[in-house]
Structure 1
């Protein structure tokens, strides 16, 4: 039976639908299987074989044949079967981006996300270095309020590092006794909180009154957030087009692939966006918006915008879009007129500058951190829900996440809204956590392909230095064999080897930084 690395790593236990323990007896047999593998004469060959997936919590196992073919002639140059490899299978990392599911794969995804986002601001990875001079802003779009929740606000920071902030926060929701809003709500719960919450306080993000909170509106807003973002990008583009006319900037005559000539605005925004699930279980967006010029002959070229088109115009376009974009959802028996969808009042727009407070490295690191997060900040972690397990997570009189899931499931009873239930496990949000416009930067696939080439070169792969005039194609004729490690002992040894390798890399990186 396949073993999950979660079961052998301290403080990483998980539960929920779809999770299966390595065995019905937990850790029984772990020492025996680990000893058996460690005393195998071919243990080092096995460790080298699973190196690519050694730190993965639930690797994918493949079996079959890998062939190397000459691209020009189609001739089979060589073939290797997994039967001749250790365990008779190839181990591939699961590739899950969620840190709560697989920290090892999430770290890889986070580093790729950092490179992708930073390349759009500083260049590199196929993006011209001239983008560093393009006007760019860092924007945070928040959701409106659906009810009062416990918060932690620090107005004046005196700490040296925000990551370990120990500054004294303000009272959560203070009110004077004579203030009418200080009275208890209609359900008898206090509307005042004088607590100065710590960062680890479990009350953060929880409503002061669960019965007053508008759960229907929040889950519908979560589901509608991707559409709201799409409309916002259109509004930013249109506002910049109008601004270009006001400035009298000449339109660009662009030649299409078919040879036709069309007149287009002289500037176009590019976007990189990451969604973050807040503790109150509602998403908000962190985005990079960059202003580019238009090349008359190459529509994919990234060039600077025309003179006179600057960061102030970009800030105005984003603020205008955030304040004006809104729409109404389709009707529902719970809301016959539909729900109004718009951004909240707290929209933060900050210019990005190489020598300013907001730099490309800080922004990319900030967004990449949230790219591996999901719903765990809310206290809810589950896989896709269905009618068999929904009662384990939904309760209209339960906790904050349980009421959200119940609201989502209940709204999905309507025939026109049945598609909502598909995203109940995500508290309504069905969009991608990291997206970008096509021109903004490179792609994850290009980064992953570069990593594969580097690993083959590092390990001395026989085709790593294949000359360009004799290109080859590696074809994998593989089928799915299973998921997870074969035994908990294998999981323990693979994770230990991966942890030691990470430690060596970190030490080498620190020593190199000290020398430089």
Structure 2
């Protein structure tokens, strides 16, 4: 047996370690997942994280049989960051093609590496962008309150996504009762008009007024008249988008692109943002006003220390987003129980290399089939 390979107490630990690329040894002989959210660090844990949130997103739109929930309307609302300096207009959509950039040129799709880049690196407000990120959680709560003043029963599933200019924006799916008189435009305006104060400087922060996208996900008939109303096409696109947004990280130099493909100008731009977050912008917990000594993750995450996803929770007065009451904690517990019930029995010691390889293959084949059966039976995928 290869003496350089890690030693495990039994087949179960070996299989678990192979699924996660960098398992953590919680105690001697017991390994747990690293739980990284970045695909570049651990594809398995990142995929699991995205899958959990996609299931929670679906549970607020579909019932357990995969049918759209009856009695609700859905709005897709986008909230963007304000401007912190002029950036290059490199067209991503056809509607932007041919528009003149503030740099004086007209960029084409071949100039995509300029997308989100400041026209003047020295004039960009790096600290302003980092401070805005530090107040984003407060600003979103203010927007939720504003929307609920218009519709008290509104529930939401919201994802923060990093733009090419490394500023966050929020995509929210808002669910309201079908009988309500509000529409996507009025809810979007209410959310966008909200303001908040920075937790350290007390400066007023607000949303940007560009890049808005407020629309209703409307039920639509498919096939013939005897087919029930189906919003799966529109809703499935939103759920797919959630997965894409979760795949990005504020640590990436260019969202969705390998860091090695970034230009020198892009690297310098992100380096200045990180320097501002690490050394120049205070968070509420900075010791003696020294951000460089603060352990909070906001200083390593471009000023934002909150969650990538937030959903409205079930309370005594509210249904919450997930009508089946799914949470990541519940999903982890269900997954742990399933694994305990379906993993092959381990054997202590005496494992040959062939034993381990065979256990890997058998466990993966069995797990893949059983998981698909269990998932389809309990929480149907969006069609």
SS at match of 1:54: helix
**1:117 alignment partner, one of 57, 64, 69:** 57
Q: Could you tell me how far 1:233 is from its partner in structure 2?
A: 0.3
Displacement of 1:198 in angstroms is: 4.0
Corresponding residue number in structure 1 for 2:164: 279
1:406 is the counterpart of 2:272: no
Rate the CA distance shift 1:433–1:323 in 2: closer, same or farther, 3 A: closer
Q: 1:8-157 residue pairs with structure 2 within 5 A?
A: 33-34=4-5, 46-63=10-27, 89-124=29-64, 131-156=69-94
> Residue 58 and residue 459 in structure 1: after superposition, are their counterparts in 2 closer, same or farther (change >3 A)?
closer
Per the alignment, residue 226 of structure 2 pairs with none
Equivalent residues in 2 for 1:257-272, closer than 5 Å? 268-272=153-157
Shift of 1:412: 3.1
Deviates more, 1:414-423 or 1:140-149: 414-423
- Flag the 1:412–1:445 CA change in 2: closer, same or farther, 3 A: closer
Q: Contact 1:322–1:343 at 8 Å: present in 2 too?
A: no
Q: Report if the CA contact (8 A) 2:75-2:214 is conserved.
A: yes
**Residue 104 (structure 2) pairs with residue 192 (structure 1):** yes
User: Aligned partners of 1:146, 1:132: CA distance in 2, in Å?
Assistant: 43
- Please give the per-residue CA displacement for 1:355-382, whole angstroms capped at 9, x wherever unaligned: 35962222112112222421244359xx
Aligned with residue 445 of structure 1, among 307, 316, 329: 329
Residues 316 and 47 of structure 1: is their aligned pair in 2 closer, same or farther, counting only changes over 3 Å? same
Give yes or no for the alignment of 1:455 onto 2:320: no
How far did 1:454 drift?
Answer: 2.2
Q: Return closer, same or farther for 1:419/1:322 CA change in 2, 3 Å cut-off.
A: farther
SS at match of 1:280: coil
* Alignment check: 8 A CA contact 1:351 1:358 kept: no
Output one character per residue of 1:449-486: Cα deviation in whole Å (capped at 9) or x when no partner. 22222223323679xxxxxxxxxxxxxxxxxxxxxxxx
Deviation of 1:319 after TM superposition, in Å, equals 2.0
For 1:350, the equivalent position in structure 2 comes to 215
Q: Distance in 1 between matches of 2:139 and 2:31?
A: 40
Secondary structure at the counterpart of residue 117 of structure 1: helix
Q: 1:376-425: CA deviations, max 9, x gaps? A: 44359xxxxxxxxxxxxxxxxx8111222233322339988656953221
Query: C-alpha distance in 2, partners of 1:437/1:136?
Result: 14
Q: Tell me, in whole angstroms, the C-alpha distance in 1 between the residues paired with 2:174 and 2:288.
A: 35
Q: Could you list the runs of 5+ residues in structure 1 that have no partner in the other structure? A: 1-30, 38-42, 64-87, 158-168, 176-181, 183-190, 242-267, 292-304, 381-397, 463-489
| Contact preservation (8 Å) 2:185, 2:215 | no
Tell me what 1:322 maps to. Answer: 191
The range that moved more, 133-142 or 103-112, is 133-142
Is contact 2:274-2:302 (8 Å) kept? yes
**Gaps in structure 2 of 5+ consecutive residues:** 221-230, 256-266, 314-319, 347-352, 377-383
User: Which has the greater radius of gyration?
Assistant: 1
Tell me the alpha carbon deviations over residues 245-275 of structure 1, each in whole angstroms, 9 at most, x when there is no partner: xxxxxxxxxxxxxxxxxxxxxxx01111111
Q: Output the TM-score relative to the length of structure 2.
A: 0.72
Q: Is the 8 A contact 1:123 1:132 kept in 2?
A: no
Structure 2 CA distance, aligned partners of 1:339 and 1:415?
Answer: 24
SS in 2 for 1:405: helix
Change (3 A) 1:101 1:270: same
Contact 2:251 2:301 in 1 (8 A): no
Q: Cα distance 1:461–1:497, how it changes in 2: closer, same or farther (>3 A)? A: closer
CA distance in 2 between counterparts of 1:418 and 1:137 reads: 42
Residue 174 (structure 1) aligned with residue 100 (structure 2): yes
For residues 21-49 of structure 1, give each alpha carbon's deviation from its aligned partner in whole angstroms, at most 9, with x where no partner exists: xxxxxxxxxx8624x97xxxxx9x85443
1:197-212 aligned within 5 A: 197-198=109-110, 201-212=112-123
* Count of aligned residue pairs for this structure pair: 328
TM-score (norm 1): 0.55
